Chain A
């Protein structure tokens, strides 16, 4: 709690404790909404079930996405320290981006970037 200065708690704990509190309060809000409609009339839908194996058209996209999502996350710590390090950080990222660009070009050339 903020009001007890005697106990020193790491700011990480208080910050994410607050995040957890907001999460709990949101669940409470959802419960309130559900409770409000507890006695509301019901509408029924009867549709035959459709759970089955589906063929989805973006399989290759999804695979490349996994690689690129990771790549994007690697860029975040780099971006924070970039201005302090300067030219060597720029050249490192240049190599990284050229490799990624080559990856996209390869996938595109092999016909991976299309809906199947």
Chain B
């Protein structure tokens, strides 16, 4: 029975986190600005598209929610409050969180409308842009923590947070995290000009699942960011889960606030930014962190 309870707790954490994320995000939506994944959806009516694919379209939201839920398994919410401390934790997160992209691409192509097929292409271009610099931001942390396990990463920061030791990696994570969660300024796949992309052809149960998946992915990006750079649930006086909550949503508010300061980028601009600037920066960051470790700085 123990595993069932833990599994339920993991899903409950995802749902609560996604709900809080959506609430915070609505606070940042300004009039006249694109809401991106916080786009309005129709909850009270199902949608039928005459020529949509029978299996691909409904598979999309299920695959996306599954990816997000699987990633929550390794997020430490406090001492002992973790689904499973997998040995390959951070690598596992990178792999399963990309199922959101697969789900969006499946639904986009499966719906077979001009807007969603366009959204499918944009989603995949966004994956090509963010995965490598995001992975390089993780590498710096793994080098200092000497482990892929999320618990070890938190313990390695007991003396000093990695945001102090690796400021370049943190900036890299902020930018690629916004790309990964499709938040402004990287919301091209959910742009109003293509009717909100996949969200435009969701309704009823699929709208509900998309809301969970798209809020959940931002929640995860912020929670993993707090684990990687802000020491996760560790902190004085207050209980661990409260520290984790504060750090996650403070990081999320920072990302939303910074994202609103920049004009939305087109997919082509985003690819150029990633490959001409972020990836070289990520490689330099790996070398810098290596140099710091050789000098004996860090845990």
Hey, which bits of chain A sit against chain B, CB under 8 A?
Answer: 1-3, 15, 17-19, 21-23, 25-27, 29-30, 33-34, 36-37, 40-51, 54, 56-58, 61-62, 64-65, 68-69, 72-73, 75-76, 79-84, 86-87, 90, 93-94, 97, 100-101, 104, 108, 113-115
Tell me which residues across on chain B come within 8 A of A73, comparing CB atoms.
91, 135
Residue of A nearest to B10 (CB): A22
Once the chains are docked, how many angstroms separate the CA of A22 from the CA of B13?
12
Residues B142 and A79 in contact, CB atoms below 8 Å apart: yes
Question: Contact: A22 with B203, CB < 8 Å?
Answer: no
**B294 cross-chain contacts in A, Cβ below 8 A:** 86-87, 90
Closest partner residue, chain B, to A100 (CB atom): B283
Are B280 and A42 closer than 8 Å at their CB atoms?
no
Range class of the B interface residue count: 35 or more
Q: Could you tell me if A97 and B283 are in contact, using CB atoms closer than 8 angstroms?
A: yes
Residue of B with least CB distance to A33 = B205
Which of these, A18, A29, A68, contacts B279 with CB under 8 Å? Answer: A68
Q: Are B271 and A43 in contact (CB under 8 A)?
A: no
B275 in contact with A104 (CB, 8 Å): yes
Is B121's CB under 8 angstroms from A26's CB? no
**Residue of A18, A47, A83 touching B7 (CB-CB under 8 A):** A18
- B111-150 interface bits toward A, Cβ cutoff 8 Å, 1 = contact, 0 = none: 0111001000100010011011001100110111011100
Residues of B within 8 A of A51 (CB): 109, 112, 117
> Does B39 sit at the interface, judged by CB under 8 A?
no
Shortest distance between the CB of B278 and any CB in chain A (Å): 11
Q: Are B46 and A37 in contact (CB under 8 A)?
A: yes
Report the separation of the CA atoms of residues A27 and B11 in the bound assembly, to the nearest whole angstrom: 11
Q: What's the least CB distance linking A49 to chain B, in Å?
A: 4
Establish whether residues A33 and B209, one from each chain, have CB atoms under 8 Å apart when the complex forms.
yes
> Considering the complex, which residues of chain B in the window 75-129 have a beta carbon less than 8 Å from any beta carbon of chain A?
83-84, 86-87, 91, 109, 112-114, 117, 121, 125, 128-129
- Contact assessment for B70 and A19 in the assembled complex, using a CB-CB cutoff below 8 Å: yes
Complex contacts, B283 vs chain A, CB 8 Å:
97, 100-101
Q: Which of A54, A58, A76 contacts B139 (CB 8 A)?
A: A76
Chain B neighbourhood of A113, CB < 8 A? 271-272, 275-276
Contact of A26 with B84 in the complex, beta carbons under 8 Å = no
Residue of A nearest to B47 (CB): A43
Q: Tell whether, in the assembled complex, residue B47 and residue A65 are in contact, meaning their CB atoms are under 8 Å apart.
A: no
Of B58, B129, B135, B140, most A-chain CB atoms within 10 Å: B135
Q: List residues of chain B with CB within 8 A of the CB of A25.
A: 7-8, 11, 69
* Given contact pairs A40-B45, A49-B51, A83 touches B131 in the complex (Cβ within 8 A): no
Assembly CA distance A50 to B112 (angstroms): 6
Query: Which of B176-184, B232-240, B285-293 lies at the binding interface?
Result: B285-293
List, in ascending order, chain B residues with CB within 8 A of A2's CB.
2-3
CB pair A90–B66 under 8 Å, yes or no, is no
Known interface pairs A72-B136, A80-B142; A42-B70 also in contact (CB < 8 Å): no
Partner of A47, one of B6, B51, B135: B51
Given A15-B86, A22-B83, CB of A54 within 8 Å of CB of B121 = yes
B122 to chain A, nearest CB (A): 10
Contact A22 to B205, CB < 8 A, known contacts A58-B128, A72-B136: no
Check B250 for interface membership: any CB of A closer than 8 A.
no
Q: Is the CB of A54 within 8 A of B62?
A: no
Asked if B265 is at the interface (CB within 8 A of a chain A CB), the reply is: no
In the complex, given contacts A47-B114, A72-B139, what are 16 additional A-B residue pairs having Cβ atoms less than 8 angstroms apart? A15-B86, A21-B7, A25-B7, A25-B11, A30-B61, A34-B205, A41-B46, A43-B47, A50-B113, A73-B91, A90-B294, A97-B286, A97-B287, A104-B275, A108-B276, A114-B268
